[in-house]
Amino acid sequence: MTNQDLLSIAKECGTPVYVYDVNSISEQYKKLTSSFSKTTRFFYAAKALTNINILKYVEKLGASLDCVSINEVKLGLKAGFSNDRILFTPNCVDLAEIEEAMSHKVHINIDNISILEQFGNKFGGSYPIFVRINPHIYAGGNHKISTGHIDSKFGISIHQMRHIERVMKSTNLNVEGLHMHTGSEIKDPDVFIQGLEIMFELAEHFPNLKYLDMGSGFKVPYQEGDIETDVKSLGKKVNASIKKYEEESGKKFQLWFEPGKFLVSDSGHFLVKSNVIKQTTATVFVGVNSGFNHLIRPMFYDSYHIIENLSNPKGAERIYTVVGNICETDTFAWDRKINEVREGDVLVFRNAGAYGFEMSSNFNSRLKPAEVMFLDGKAHLIRKRDEFEDLLKNQIEVL
Ligand SMILES: *Cc1c(COP(=O)(O)O)cnc(C)c1O
């Protein structure tokens, strides 16, 4: 997909609009499958981007699906994933939501002792489960997206192994898998190996174990000089570590991963229009027709998105602060070098596939953007832009 394609889409569909070049998803998926052993399975973390067309595309690639809510499970089934290719990994949900997932016969991952006990008392070993462990490895690019540390709400602490075992024995739980997800954007691949070794140790406590799920943490580069997780070298290390374990223990487990942004981040291009150029004493602002209501990542966790001016690619580079049109401090980027921006120019935010549209809202009574899928050289509208009526859709007028 070229910049010219993006400009045509902006012209045809208007802005703001999210465009997904699905070829990139396929390439990222191949990187993963070619780096690990053939039996390794990849569960796309649906929460990164759940448009039904993206889910269907990922299903056709052969991946499985990691879901964090019952609605993601239902979307996954609707997109064509069979139940054995869906893992339900909720946190802080009640037993009723877990029972609803059981009715769909998907894999279930339990992340706290209270639910483990309730589940065991009601179902015993009749339905196999995963247990989510918190290994207390500090990993992840940013405290807000790190999940494995000691203060994290996720998983059951490895220090509570005895308690897990007690519940398991007294209720006859059938634990088929162990899970850990230590956070997003892990820079040091050795963290995965460290996690894997903890898994091997824990495996001794679970006689029915078949699967080890290492979650995600695969990093993608957001700016120049950033690195992508080197999955080739990680794959080699992981394979060596598993081989050694299998030889020593005589046991064999299937390895699972749950990549979200690694699969879809790069595919996404978010197009906006420059509304106003505003020169102040200190800086030059570009005010665009969007805001953190459409792309919250920069304000939410200081993420960096490369921004380019598609309408004036040869213009002289100048320094800008790019802001949205929301009545809150709403900065996409500070002091960015961008080809001269004029009012009306189309700008693109790169790497906007993961947690972009998915986290959008109607804040300021603005309309959510449209979504376009670029497939085999053609652009397909896959979500209409909100309309004014959508703002009132679920409201009940009593006055
Ligand atoms: C969010 C999440 C993922 C995906 O994380 P990425 O950083 O997008 O790869 C995987 N597993 C679980 C349980 C998650 O909550």
To test ligand 1's pocket by mutation, which of 107, 258, 351 has the most ligand atoms within 8 angstroms of CB? 258
Residues annotated as catalytic (active site), given as ranges: 327
DSSP at 165: H
Q: Report CA(90)–ligand 1 centroid distance (Å).
A: 11
The protein residue with its alpha carbon nearest to ligand 1, atom 15, reads: 68
Pocket test for ligand 1, best of 25, 43, 47, 261 (most atoms within 8 A of CB): 47
Atom of ligand 1 nearest to the CA of 47: 1
Instruction: List Cα–Cα distances, 244 to 230, 241, 362, in angstroms.
Output: 21, 5, 52
User: Atom of ligand 1 at shortest distance to CA of 215?
Assistant: 11
- pLDDT for the residue numbered 359: 98
For the CA atoms of 325, 327, 328, 334, what is the dihedral angle to 10 degrees?
Answer: 30
Map residue 336 onto helix, strand or coil.
strand
Q: What is the β-pairing status of strands 378-383 and 370-375?
A: antiparallel
Average pLDDT for consecutive 10-residue bins of the chain (399 residues)?
98 98 98 96 98 98 98 98 98 97 98 97 98 81 59 88 96 97 77 92 96 94 90 94 96 97 98 97 96 97 96 98 96 97 98 98 98 98 98 97
Cis amide prior to 16 (ω within 30 degrees):
yes
Q: Where are the domains of the chain?
A: 35-261, 268-381
Cα 354 to its chain centre, rounded Å, is: 6
Q: What is the pLDDT of residue 178?
A: 98
Contacts 24+ apart (CB under 8 A), 58-64: 58/25, 58/29, 58/263, 59/85, 61/25, 61/26, 61/29, 62/29, 62/33, 63/29, 63/263, 64/256
How far is 250 from 175, CA to CA, in rounded Å? 19
- Please tell me the CATH code under which domain 268-381 is placed: 2.40.37.10
> If you measure from the C-alpha of residue 217 to the centroid of ligand 1, how many angstroms do you get, rounded to a whole number?
7
Is 3.20.20.10 the CATH classification of the domain at 35-261?
Answer: yes
Distance (Å, whole) CA 68 – CA 336: 36
Ligand 1 centre to CA of 145 (Å) is 9
Q: Which protein residues touch ligand 1 with a CB less than 6 Å away?
A: 45, 47-48, 66, 68, 89, 181, 184, 215-216, 218, 258-262, 354
Alpha-carbon distance of 292 to 298, in angstroms, equals: 8
Residue 141 has a pLDDT of 53
**CA 271 to ligand 1 center in whole angstroms:** 25
**Residue ID of nearest Cα to ligand 1 atom 5:** 260
